Structure 1
Amino acid sequence: MAMGLFRVCLVVVTAIINHPLLFPRENATVPENEEEIIRKMQEHQEKLQLEQLRLEEEVARLAAEKEALERVAEEGKQQNEARAAWDLWSTLCMILFLIIEVWRQDHQDGPSPECPGGDEDELHGLGSTPLRGLTLPDKATLSHFYERCIRGVTADTARTREFIEGFVDDLLEALRSLCNRDTDMEVEDFIGVDSMYENWQVDRPLLCDLFVPFTPPEPYRFHPELWCSSRSVPLHRQGYGKIKVVQADADALGCVCGKTKLGEDMLCLLHSKNNTVQPSGKMEDLLCSRDSLHLDTMQVMKWFQTALTRAWHRIAHKYDFDLAFSQLDSPGSLKIKFRSGKFMPFNLIPVIQCDDSDLYFVSHLPREPSWETMDSSTDWLLSFAVYERHFLRVTSKALPEGSCHLSCLQIASFLLSKQSRLTGPSGLSTYHLKTALLHLLLLRRATDWKAGQLNARLHDLLCFLEKSLLEKKLHHFFIGNRKVPETMGLPEAVRRAEPLNLFRTFVLHRSLYRKTVDSFYEMLKNAPALVSEYSLHVPVDHASLPQKAVIL
């Protein structure tokens, strides 16, 4: 009980002592301390607010930068996706165009080629005459022109061939009699090629082209190297090859190190570490290029001209005419000069047979254009002249009697020859005309070449040529042409080679292309006047109105 009272009294005393009204002076500083504390707290709060504003501004700036970066990245991603989609679409379009082009060239079958309407961009600035409204001779005029001006030339070819062949037989026999079979080249019998032997010669004077194959003395032989056996050959060298001189039944120069296993301490004295043959001094006697095993065209030309000169001196006393070289830069461009002043040209062309085929390598082409000269003296042009003659002969047997295919070629060749004399030679040659005709013979049915369809087929030929000129593309008839019958016996390497564009020169020589196109259209424009000039005596009942030509 006493303890409880004590506790109550203690509480009361403590409350009285701590009451602010009873002891005012002791508690006078409390309000002042609170104001100071409040002031400091307000200052600190202001600092915190300022710091918060700064932090908020910093966060906003970082957020804006991040948003800008994300926006730039998104735009870049969209652009990359659009570019990738465009590249994919361009690639697909290119592949589609290539497929269409391959299909059009290799699988499109039709009775006749399509005639283009003309490419304005390609012809812009060429100065050519448009073909719209151009008149071509009708069937009666062309037939009369052919009978009057061309058939007479064809009739004279038989007599010319007989005379030239008899003389060349005698000349080559004299050449063989002067050669040493152990050391000199052996000359074989000649082979007649080109227009004279294909019955479409129109130019006068009549010109015989004769291949003269030759082989090396034993034990050597020629090893042809075709361009299609190597992928490193540039485009403008396709169609050429090299001739390597080797020994029969052995490696080059007869070395047997490739066939015999030599010991580690044995060394071949003919071959270096790179296994290359070291040419000997005898190779120059075999008409090879200096320090090379390949046959040199210049050496062959000098040898052939010297051999022909010696052979002529041996038999000159038997003939009442003179023999001379008409072109010194061609090995066998000869000319017979009679006492009356007349002359008779012909070409003896030294060639090398390609294996066992009818392909021949030619050292020099007579009347070779300056823009198609060979880059190296060891380059030989591959000639298909024998195959072309054989193809025309076989095709003629399948065509109707009196077919007009050769007549078309003769008229086109006549027009080209007259135009070349007026404006000078161009990039278009008679070989291009013949190549176009060979392609048309495969495209057309046999019944389309009847004699009465001469004007229509001539139109097709000129149309084909114009289309090829505009595209700057005229494929060689035999090289890479799978449509040629296998019975022709072409080597498989030639059949499977890439097609050879005979107009590839026009891609690099723009001035030559302009001149060729101008000359071609000028020839077409002058065709009616030329035919009329050489057909003055056309019967009245045959003089029908000329037909309008379809745009080529």
Structure 2
Amino acid sequence: MAMGLFRVCLVVVTAIVNHPLLFPRENATVPENEEEILRKMQEHQEKLQLEQLRLEEEVAQLLAEKEALKQAEEEGQQQSESYTAWNLWSTLCMILFLIIEIWRQDYQDTLFPECPAGDEDELSGLGGAPLKGLPLPNKATLDHFYEHCIRSATGDATRTREFVEGFVDDLLEALRNVYSRNTDMEMEDFIGVGSMYENWQVERPLQCHLYVPFTPPEPYSFRPELWCSSLSVPLDRQGYGQIKVTLADGDPLGCACSKTKLGEDMLCLLHGKSGGVQPSGGGGDEMKDLLCSRETSHLDAMQVMKWFQVALTRAWRRIAHKYEFDLAFGQLDTPGSLRIKFRSGKFMPFILTPVIQCNDSDLYFVPQLPKEAHRGPPASGTDWFLSFAVSERQFLRMIGKALPEDACHLSCLQIASFLLSKQSRLSGPSGLHSYHLKTVLLHLLLSRQAADWKASQLGVRLQELFRFLERSLQEKKLHHFFVGNHKVPEAMGLPEVVRRAEPINLFRPFVLQRTLYHGTMDFFYEMLRNAPTLISEYSLHVPSDRASPPPKAVAL
């Protein structure tokens, strides 16, 4: 009860205290400040609204950033997962490649170990299976094989060379008499090249290869243009050059029509009456279009060969009555290939090739591509192949003087060439040629001491030749011996532009032709596998000297 009275009294007192008549407000008498208050309140309200908008924008921005961050995190997680997977795969691949490379290096070390002379080395086998060394027969069997199957088979090489050289001398002299020396090409003395003149030919029948240099009549001259004199030469033109016909004074026009009055029976060397390329004088209708390519001053290789064939035919007709045999063109795909056919049915092939000397060096431009080089055909008829055959013969002669008297370097090359020839007859041709074998031997001659080529080291050097060849086949790289090789003695007299040139890869066709490469590798390992059997069989049963059947010939 007392508590209730207390509450009533508290309410009454509060009402009295807050009555306006008893305690009036101070600002009740200043109504003029109301507008200012309202204005301030409106401004404050506007500020609040602006602040609210700013806060809403910040909240929206924060939400957007949060969403973007979340999306970025998701994408980053996905990328991280893929990157981790890629790193794992890359690592595995790298480890695998490293294992393969280590295995390859170890495998090659077993194939080509640096062991002392006399130790047998390992060669890779056919089909990936290792073939421990080249299982050559013992030294006695190998020596017997060489003496009875190679040396005896090539014993008549000297007589063959003498006979062919005597006949070619007579043929060239007749050719010089057919044409005037003042108005036609001048033929110089022949030069013997190739295996017959390097004393290592083993294929039957024996065949001489002779170069016949020729020069133009006055007032013309030949100006060779080496492929390596240019900074940028396509790979398919490496090893080729062009021959430009100019006046003797270096006139770039290369034509004397405007400077010399030609007779009615004279034709310009470059331009004939019909505007085509014709020789000067004495050639007749059959000698038209024979020297330069049309509308150029460069010699056309095929036109030169056509002219040379016609010249040989006319020369033979002048002397045919002196001989008791027939002369015919041999291989139709090799211009200059000739074949002497005796009445007994035997024949003797040889090759005459017209060539142009490269300045004053031992290098010569040949109009057709040697088969042994195994390079692609020339890009045009004005491309001439640069031959090092004379330099190779000179190098073998020079290096032979420094070797022991009974050196085995040529014997090694003969046996390798013999095995290559026999395997070619068994399984057909391949990308390997005897020129590759000779190139390998030339490289080895520069890398070995003279004492390493004693006759007793024949088996070891033969294995080393095949190891070098195998490694070159695996790498698809066999550099030309002279081009870009700074180890070649300066006494060889090579042009400086040849010494500074980039090396030519003789195995470049294997890089471009996969089928050819695999076929050649199979051929090579098959040859190695058959080598012991061939050597043993031929050393026990010496075959009789039977000439291979002659190719179809076209009579002159």
1:158 counterpart residue number? 158
**Amino acid paired to 2:278:** E
CA offset digits 1:76-120 (Å, max 9, x no partner): xx99xxxxxx9xxxxxxxxxxxxxxxxxxxxxxx9999x99889x
Aligned to 2:22: 21
Partner of 1:181: 181
Query: What residue number does 1:260 align with?
Result: none
Conserved in 1, the CA contact under 8 Å of 2:365 and 2:386? yes
Counterparts in 2 of 1:447 and 1:514: CA distance versus 1, 3 Å: same
Mapping 1:96-111, distance limit 5 Å: none
Q: CA deviation at 1:250?
A: 2.6
The reply on whether 1:243 has 2:247 as its aligned counterpart is no
Partner of 1:54: 56
Does 2:272 correspond to 1:281? yes
Q: Contact 1:284–1:290 (CA<8 Å) still a contact in 2? A: no
- Asked if 1:499 is matched to 2:503, the reply is yes
Q: Structure 1 residues 117, 471: closer, same or farther in 2, change over 3 A?
A: farther
CA contact (8 A) 2:123 2:131 kept: no
In the alignment, what sits opposite 2:471?
467
Following TM superposition, by how much is the alpha carbon of 1:181 offset from its aligned partner in structure 2, in angstroms? 1.6
Conserved 8 A contact 2:375-2:506: no
- Kept after mapping to 2: 8 A contact 1:153/1:202: yes
Q: Name the residue aligned to 1:297.
A: 301
Other-structure match for 1:533: 537
Measure, in 2, the Cα distance between the counterparts of 1:129 and 1:69.
Answer: 57
Amino acid at match of 1:359: L
1:402 partnered with 2:403: no
1:378 Cα offset (Å): 0.8
8 Å CA contact 1:353, 1:361 repeated in 2: yes
Q: Is the 8 A contact 2:123 2:134 kept in 1?
A: no
Any conservation in 1 of the 2:223–2:243 contact (CA below 8 Å)?
Answer: yes
In terms of mean alpha carbon deviation, does 177-186 or 477-486 score higher? 177-186
Once residues 372 and 448 of structure 2 are traced to their aligned partners in structure 1, the CA distance between those partners, rounded to angstroms, is 31
Measure the CA separation in 1 of the matches of 2:136 and 2:390: 34
Alignment deviations for residues 137-184 of structure 1 (CA, whole Å, 9 cap, x no partner) = 232221111011011123211010011000100010010011112221
State the Cα distance separating 1:62 from its structure 2 match. Answer: 6.7
In 2: Cα distance, 1:512 partner to 1:458 partner: 25
For the residues of structure 1 that align with 2:59 and 2:503, how far apart are their CA atoms?
A: 74
Identity of matched residues, %: 65
| Closer/same/farther in 2, CA of residues 67 and 306 from structure 1, 3 Å limit | same
Instruction: Tell me how far 1:331 sits from its aligned partner.
Output: 2.5
Residue aligning to 1:221: 221
Instruction: Return the letter of the residue paired with 1:218.
Output: E
Please say if 1:321 is aligned against 2:322. Answer: no
Q: Secondary structure of 1:534's match? A: helix
Whole-angstrom CA distance in 1 between matches of 2:206 and 2:371: 14
2:338 maps to what in 1?
A: 334
Q: Could you list the runs of 5+ residues in structure 2 that have no partner in the other structure?
A: 1-18, 84-89, 91-113, 260-268, 280-289, 543-556
* 2:439 is the alignment partner of 1:435: yes
Q: Is the 8 A contact 1:227 1:239 kept in 2?
A: yes
Q: What corresponds to 1:264 in structure 2?
A: none
Secondary structure of 1:154 counterpart: coil
2:484 counterpart (480, 484, 504): 480
SS at match of 1:376: coil
How do 1:47-196 and structure 2 match up within 5 A? 50-51=52-53, 53-58=55-60, 60-61=62-63, 64=66, 127=127, 130-132=130-132, 135-196=135-196
- For 1:352, the equivalent position in structure 2 comes to 356
* Counterpart-to-counterpart distance in 2, 1:242 and 1:498: 19
RMSD: 3.9
Measure, in 1, the Cα distance between the counterparts of 2:184 and 2:57: 105
Is residue 301–residue 330 contact of structure 1 (8 Å, CA) maintained in 2?
Answer: no
Counterpart of 2:394 in structure 1: which amino acid?
H
Contact 1:362/1:382 (CA < 8 Å) preserved in 2?
A: yes
CA 1:309–1:68 in structure 2 vs 1: closer, same or farther (change >3 Å)? same
Q: Following superposition of structure 1 onto structure 2, how do residues 373-452 of structure 1 map, counting pairs within 5 Å?
A: 373-452=377-456
C-alpha separation in 1, matches of 2:47 and 2:314: 126
CA contact (8 A) 2:329 2:339 kept: yes
Q: Scaled by the length of structure 1, what TM-score is found?
A: 0.74
CA distance in 1, matches of 2:423, 2:230: 40
Contact kept, 8 Å, 1:295 with 1:378, in 2: the verdict is: yes
| 1: CA distance, partners of 2:302 / 2:182 | 22
355 and 61 in structure 1: CA distance in 2 versus 1, 3 angstrom threshold: same
Corresponding residue SS for 1:153: coil
SS of 1:346 mapped into structure 2: strand
CA distance in 2, matches of 1:68, 1:171: 96
The change in CA–CA distance for 1:133 and 1:44 in structure 2 (over 3 A counts) is same
Q: When the two structures are superposed, what TM-score results if normalisation uses the length of structure 2?
A: 0.74
Higher RCO by CA contacts (8 Å cutoff, separation 6 or greater): 1
Secondary structure of the 1:515 match is helix
Quick one: distance in 1 between partners of 2:533 and 2:479?
32
Q: Using the alignment, how far apart are the partners of 1:370 and 1:407 within structure 2?
A: 24
- 1: distance between equivalents of 2:144 and 2:452? 20
Distance 1:288 1:254 in 2: 11
Distance in 1 (CA, whole Å) between partners of 2:464 and 2:431 is: 20
Separation of aligned partners in 2, 1:134 and 1:116: 8
Is the alpha carbon distance of 1:446 and 1:369 closer, same or farther for their aligned partners in structure 2, counting shifts above 3 Å?
closer
8 Å CA contact retained: 2:198, 2:396: yes
- Compute the displacement of 1:330 (Å): 2.4
Q: Give the letter for the 1:21 counterpart.
A: L
Count residues in correspondence.
457
> How far apart, in 2, do the equivalents of 1:369 and 1:486 lie?
24
